[in-house]
Structure 1
């Protein structure tokens, strides 16, 4: 099952995001290689600066998706103010199976 992880950064945390980015990218690379990451990228504020993250992951259930989000170095560093985990149905422009 697919899940959307909507992660909102804490205010004023751009420096923490940038410092933590290399291990975050390494973590996502591992998820991708394991077939669990379907897409990911930063959410941007009105000035075009990162203010959160959107990930689409594959997991057995919501608890598994939340565990993936909790393993992210951004989450471990305390970057996120909130993380919302929602089931996701990729209807349009989904890659061919």
Structure 2
């Protein structure tokens, strides 16, 4: 099953996010769950300032996704103000033609 994890940072926690960024990246590189797409949410004024996180993951259960989220260094550092985890049914996938 696919799940979307949408996390909004606390407005005053950018410096805390930056301090935890290397630990967060190392956690994701450890493949704690099948992460299909992930990246920071960014401020619309400059398209650079990070203000949250987005993940599209594949997991056997919602509980597995919750455990993944709770073990993230960003979660442990108290960076996220709001976390929304939702099951997701993919209908269209145009990503195979996109190159980065």
TM-score bucket of the superposed structures, by smaller chain: 0.7 to 0.9
Distance 1:25 1:8 in 2: 17
CA contact (8 A) 2:33 2:68 kept: no
CA separation of 1:94 and 1:54: change in aligned 2, threshold 3 A: same
- Greater C-alpha Rg: 2
How many residue pairs get aligned? The number is 93
Distance 2:78 2:33 in 1: 26
TM-score (norm 1): 0.87
- Name segments (4+ residues, structure 1) moved above 6 Å: none
**What is aligned with 1:77?**
77
One of 42, 45, 69 as aligned partner of 2:43: 45
TM-score (norm 2): 0.85
**Alignment RMSD (CA, Å):** 1.5
